[in-house]
Structure 1
Amino acid sequence: MKYALVTGGSRGIGRAVSLKLAEQGFYVLINYRSNHEEAKKVLVEIEEQDGKGELLPFDVSSADEVSDVLGGWMSKNDQHIDVLVNNAGITADNLMVFMTNDEWNKVITTNQNSFFYVTRQVLEGMIVNKFGRIINVVSLSGQKGHPGQVNYSASKGAVMAATKSLAMEVGKKKVTVNCVAPGFIKTEMTEHIDEKMWKKMIPLNRFGEAKEVAGVVGFLASEDASYITGETIAVNGGMYS
């Protein structure tokens, strides 16, 4: 049994990734912070498809919770994580001239610091066992920028840069580190966006589906992707700067 952890796994892309990895035979740890009902629904879906998993609630932006809950699970079960999908993230959009310290700090803490806290926690096990897949869900905003998202773009751009460095550190231990950068995907995060207006800027002329992002994550988690590391794969319908 191989174990996969999906942070922010209760909704949207995280939900689709959790289902995909379960379909591929992984025992999926579904992380969430507070939305227990949605997370439970994902676990039920996994079990209805003869998959296996469990809920693992903790705040990815808290170093102490990551250590206590995730570290505690690993010690208690004497297991390591084979696949980590750093998916949890938030937005707090505002033009920089009006952006508050809180809007900046909570996005950086949740999106960027969590990458460090969670990845550090599972990395030793991957190195010791000489196998690991770390997949960071970033964003088109981190690649080309977007007005009103200086904080969000900074957090995702930082994770993409860190991915390249970490890939160089752990490659010899057969641990790969990659990013998946979604564009406009139909999730709760894009419900307020005018799809009719924005899809005109997308060559494929539509918003993407969460399962299309999950398909790329599933590929990167598989043996077929064993020679890919340090990369950012865009899933954005051809939308580039």
Structure 2
Amino acid sequence: MPKIPNPDAASLLREPLPLRGRTALVTGASRRGGIGYAVARRLAAYGASVHLHHHVPHDAAQPWGADPDGPRAVAEGVREALGDPSAAVFHGPGDLSDPAAPAELVTTAAEALGGRLDILVANHALSGGDGPLDTIDAGMLDAHWAVDARSVILLVQAYARLRAALPERTPGGRVVMMTSGQDIAGGMPQEIAYALAKGALASATRSLATSLADLLVTVNTVNPGPVDTDYLDGEVYEEIAGMFPAGRWGMPDDPARLIAWLATDEAEWITGEVINSEGGFRR
């Protein structure tokens, strides 16, 4: 096996559109205040064509509510960030608690994006319907498992099958999953069902990375830490802000920058990792 030489000076210059010609599916991109929206904008700004998944009924049932202008406004906000005028933005719904929905979503996204899917960012999650050990029940556990873990694994499965149909060892394949702070000091004792499901993704990261390695697909998981997605305010908000060295919450674009970088060729040597993007958050 020949050694790969050090890059010459010209190749060290950063490509302004490192994802030009690539395609991406971002799940859970239904609100302009959310991480999925920020990730999609970053991918689009780097030149990728993007398909946005949304499930408005979930957001509508939460205290923060759905985006007041709906999925079209979310897609338009991503479209405004396109760095490559030849790229495109699509969007569509999907209830990922349905076992058939993940494969259907991957197929729909790939067809919209020209038959190929390079980047999968599984950002969606179930909010609410959880509690501490003494209050959880089988229904809570099953609901979080179905959305927060099972659907992600099924998305990765469908994505891998799609990549396997491409010419052998096509480069540029990326999977990014989202976990939370369940493995860091203190855990998440008030959200046992959510922590269990998100912990499953963190634990599965290396196994999935190994499973997809022959397809030249990297698999990484990001813990974004506490992020201001418009779900909290008042004294508690300020208290948590004080737990960051910077004196502020993480904002959606903080983890989005990391996730977008992981999608580029610069990150092709990083796989099987769980990466914390918490800004030094002190628990």
Give the TM-score normalised by structure 1.
Answer: 0.90
Could you tell me which of 30, 33, 49 is aligned with 2:55?
A: 33
The corresponding residue for 2:35 is: 13
**Structure 1: distance between partners of 2:272 and 2:141:** 27
**Structure 1: distance between partners of 2:234 and 2:24:** 31
Unaligned runs of 5+ in 2: 1-20, 57-65
What is the count of residue pairs matched by the alignment? 241
- 1:150 is aligned to 2:170: no
**Structure 1: distance between partners of 2:222 and 2:192:** 20
Secondary structure of 1:168's counterpart equals helix
Q: Which residue identity lines up with residue 154 of structure 1 in the other structure?
A: L
The corresponding residue for 1:117 is: 154
The corresponding residue for 2:4 is: none
Secondary structure of 2:92's counterpart equals strand
**CA contact under 8 A between 1:5 and 1:81: conserved in structure 2?**
yes
Could you tell me which of 71, 74, 79 is aligned with 1:47?
A: 79
**CA contact under 8 A between 1:142 and 1:155: conserved in structure 2?**
no
Q: Which residue identity lines up with residue 146 of structure 1 in the other structure?
A: M
Identical positions, percent = 27
Matches within 5 A, 1:1-241: 1-11=21-31, 12-34=34-56, 37-50=69-82, 52-74=88-110, 79-92=115-128, 93-129=130-166, 130=169, 131=171, 132-144=173-185, 145-190=187-232, 194-239=236-281
Secondary structure of 1:197's counterpart equals helix
Q: Which residue identity lines up with residue 157 of structure 1 in the other structure?
A: G
Higher helix share: 1
**Structure 1: distance between partners of 2:260 and 2:108:** 26
Unaligned runs of 5+ in 1: none
**CA contact under 8 A between 1:127 and 1:175: conserved in structure 2?**
no
Q: Which residue identity lines up with residue 281 of structure 2 in the other structure?
A: M
Cα RMSD of the aligned pairs, angstroms, is 2.3
**CA contact under 8 A between 1:19 and 1:45: conserved in structure 2?**
yes
Q: Which residue identity lines up with residue 118 of structure 1 in the other structure?
A: L
> Taking structure 1 as reference, are residues 95 and 176 closer, same or farther at Cα in structure 2, changes over 3 Å only?
same
**CA contact under 8 A between 2:90 and 2:112: conserved in structure 1?**
no
